[in-house]
Structure 1
């Protein structure tokens, strides 16, 4: 195994701004702060950043297809950052949207280093919607993007397809806060729990996350909360999408950045990086589930999570019992439950599921949360030399999955990232239900949620099967308060009703019996 091509993470840095939005760092400054901290973490000066030959930036949330918010915007964020660092990387890319992007970009960068195409890569991302939204209302821009207009578009990596189909979107299945509750209710019904019992379970699952966040100096909400507090609906913790009150939802409006420096082992030694700073990627994998949720086998599992976990562990030559620490992607409780189940972990596993505190508490910086998980995992593994940590990253709606296994221990075999097409072929071959877009007549609820706004019910989202067992999506209008209230009071899955087209012929409307 050649030192020239063994990839190693030598430094990780993160930064959180909680101050006055009017004085907030620009997005590029946020990135630069994290990059400089990553260099310092490796025991190097900031001048090393000018010598990177690769730059992979995680895309800002405002660059996601269909994003509704308009903010000051660079035409090429990686190039803008490279200018600020004084760098001229040969490989400079911007990831497509998705919370898998951080781990995916690390996997790609490590592969490039293992193939001798790069020797020193910065993988980095940030989110600035915490201050950005407030600055927008004040008419404030970001001065250091004034030079961006003369830049060409970036080179993109990753799968850029929209997260859902037009059919799903018109029925409200186009936002995480609307879709992840569909998974949660399906999990509850599958396991036969009552609504009150399941709500307690959600609080018990995420209370330990708040405890970790409270001890994390970079957490957005470093506040420990009880299980009861997390799931009790109050004016401060209003219901968002049943069964999720606000306190168990990921928080995207943050100002946070994180990044890692990855080099070949030979380059790390040339730079004088101490051996005890080095963290190796022992195993990795990437795959997508069947793309559109409406087409999946069920709403309570993720074959891509299971297969990427198995592949990453297999590449590392480990089993899940060998892992000392986990950071499972935690945008909502359903993601954690499905992730744990995919790895064969019990929900009360004493090792815990987060090293940061998770997206609702440490912060959910757009597509870049998983980078924070990797940075903190590096710290954890250095404190426990030779131990192993596993990080997962989830994009869109349990759709895009990336996994990494890390340790300070040097791998015994050359780094060989499997072509993602191998796992993808297995997933694409899975059977899927028939879908009917214009159903009529009787139907049975397969899963559902009730979406709230600040004034009450906004709508119900129903996924159901017709009498021919074909799946369809529908809504219950927010004016149907009695029906929507009943879906929160007693189990809705398995209930029957009637579906018909709306008067404008745009959507399916469901009427409960």
Structure 2
């Protein structure tokens, strides 16, 4: 294949600003710093950013200015580049690498920059001190152009019943998985602690981790003064940490253009396979103990003769334990795999920079495979509520032959064509618990329960599914956290217009 059409990553940058002050860096400042780290890493002049033809920014949770891509382009002297903003979703950074690698292979792009940041730690400090949002806005000629349309990942009906806050939704998938595995509540809790304890060990060695602290399985698994229960079975230490100041940036080009820029081949990292998938809406998914979209993503990411066994390094998206567990299912690896399953420490411990965490994990993977030349690394990404997925395989080994990918449109139908679960918004009658969670207050007391159930047996795929709240009975809520309630019998009815489930 002509080097003109062979995509390659040539520069990466990461910033973690741990000192939180009122004068700390803004989102734009952090992005600019990461971009210049990436140019320094590539060994090129910052003036060469004027030659960018593509600039894509991953949206922050709370955009601090009207048009972030335009502001960054103006700051770095890349105003001639086509400018894009990515919508919400943690899959975004890997999606960008996948999409624009294909664009380079097709001769549609020559030199691209991807970047993103969160400055929520500094923003929060400013709000607490002044009562006002940070004054980080910059003038803009207009609104940003989205690379991908901002699609809703949840319905109004779902939002009424807990399908809104990520920690609640992932907890419901976690409880379904625990039941499927046949584990007791305590055995599963200990397993979650062991899984994320290994992540903390990696974070403790990372220069970019927000919490570089090793923690025991017990510390993570069970509530304490510093580790409150958030949504059953998740403690605080099992949740992605977005109150951070972090950024990352990547430079992608062709081998031919990299040579013209004078970039050393020692910097070249190739994408050896990639995939992108989308999951059904939460209410329609066939089951909650696995992700069909992740399964298809895993089946499609490897090109040539590569497989998961060839991956020396892995970074599974880890917003919550179940995200890692589902990835293990999809790729056929154990949660006890000696490869650690993260190279950063993961979102709870490295810090989950909003939608941009995977920009950090890709940057870390590039550093890792450069240091261990000839090795392969796998990065996965997840957006929404297991809603959107992406994966990529990285190595310093050149891609043999033509660079190619199977376009997602060729396999997305494998997910879309699965039958939706039968569903009603107005359930009434005898029912069973399909999955559930209990949300806790900051006083560590159960406050609200949510139940996804079936009008019939919980494991009957033909039984009609519904969403509901649990009856607000403190004893019942407590009982839901002490034993496996999946399959438990009860009844559902509308109470003041709200679907309400009560145990028998």
The alignment partner of 2:153 has SS state of coil
Whether 1:80 aligns to 2:71 is yes
In structure 2, the residue matched to 1:24 is 24
CA distance in 2, matches of 1:316, 1:33: 37
Q: Does 1:301 align with 2:290?
A: yes
Structure 1: distance between partners of 2:346 and 2:412: 28
* Partners of 1:35 and 1:49 within 8 A in 2: no
Matched, 1:472 2:466: yes
Matches within 5 A, 1:7-86: 7-62=7-62, 73-86=64-77
8 Å CA contact 1:163–1:174 kept in 2: the answer is no
**Partner SS, residue 44 of structure 1:** coil
How far apart, CA to CA, are the structure 1 residues paired with 2:107 and 2:67? 26
Measured in 2, the distance between the counterparts of 1:141 and 1:115 equals: 43
In 2, the alpha carbon distance for the partners of 1:268 and 1:129 equals 35
From 139, 142, 145, the counterpart of 1:147: 139
* Total equivalences in the alignment: 497
Matched residue, 1:162:
152
> In 1, distance between residues paired with 2:318 and 2:429?
38
Q: 1:327 is matched with which residue? A: 315
**Contact 2:123-2:134 at 8 Å conserved across structures:** no
Q: Distance in 2 between matches of 1:451 and 1:316?
A: 46
| Equivalent position SS for 1:450 | strand
Alpha-carbon spacing, 1:346–1:417, altered in 2? closer, same or farther (3 Å): same
- Say whether 1:288 aligns with 2:278: yes
Among 423, 437, 453, the residue aligned to 2:425: 437
| Match of residue 357, structure 2, among 351, 359, 369 | 369
In 1, Cα distance between equivalents of 2:219 and 2:349: 14
CA offsets 1:269-316 (integer angstroms, 9 cap, x no match): 1111111111001111111011x1110010011121121222111x25
The CA deviation at 1:23 is 1.4
Partner in structure 1 of residue 98 of structure 2: 107
1:90 to 81, 85, 88: 81
- Find out whether 1:244 has 2:238 as its counterpart: no
Aligned-residue Cα RMSD (Å) equals: 1.4
Contact 1:444 1:494 in 2 (8 A): yes
| Counterpart in the other structure of 1:198 | 188
Equivalent residues of 1:55, 1:89 under 8 A apart: no
Change (3 A) 1:343 1:132: same
1:36-63 deviation line (CA, Å, top 9, x unaligned): 1111111223223232111011111125
Corresponding residue for 1:179? 169
Q: Deviations over 1:239-272 (max 9, x none)?
A: 0000001011101111100011001111111111
Deviations 1:426-452 (A, max 9, x none): 110012210011001111000000001
Aligned to 1:397, which of 378, 385, 389? 385
Q: Is the 8 A contact 2:311 2:378 kept in 1?
A: yes
Match in the other structure for 1:69: none
> Any stretches of 5+ residues in structure 1 without a counterpart?
64-72
In 1: Cα distance, 2:426 partner to 2:108 partner: 51
Show structure 2 runs of 5+ residues with no match: 457-461
Contact 1:288 1:400 in 2 (8 A): yes
Distance 1:143 1:509, change over 3 A: closer
Tell whether the 8 Å contact from 1:53 to 1:88 is kept in structure 2 after alignment. no
Matched, 1:116 2:107: yes
Corresponding residue number in structure 2 for 1:502 = 495
Alignment check: 8 A CA contact 2:296 2:414 kept = no
| Residues 59 and 97 in structure 1, CA contact (< 8 A), matched pair in contact too | yes
Q: Calculate the TM-score normalised by the size of structure 1.
A: 0.94
Do 1:12 and 1:37's aligned partners in 2 also have CA atoms closer than 8 Å?
A: yes
Q: Work out the CA distance in 2 between the residues paired with 1:141 and 1:47.
A: 33
Q: Partner residue of 2:459?
A: none
| Superimposed CA distance per residue, residues 52-87 of structure 1 (whole angstroms, 9 cap, x where no aligned partner) | 111011111125xxxxxxxxx322110110000011
Contact 2:39 2:46 in 1 (8 A): yes
Give the secondary structure class of the aligned counterpart of 1:4. helix
Q: C-alpha displacement at 1:159, in angstroms?
A: 4.8
**For residues 20 and 60 of structure 1, what CA distance do their matches in structure 2 show?**
18
After the TM superposition, which of the residue ranges 177-186 and 422-431 deviates more from structure 2? 422-431
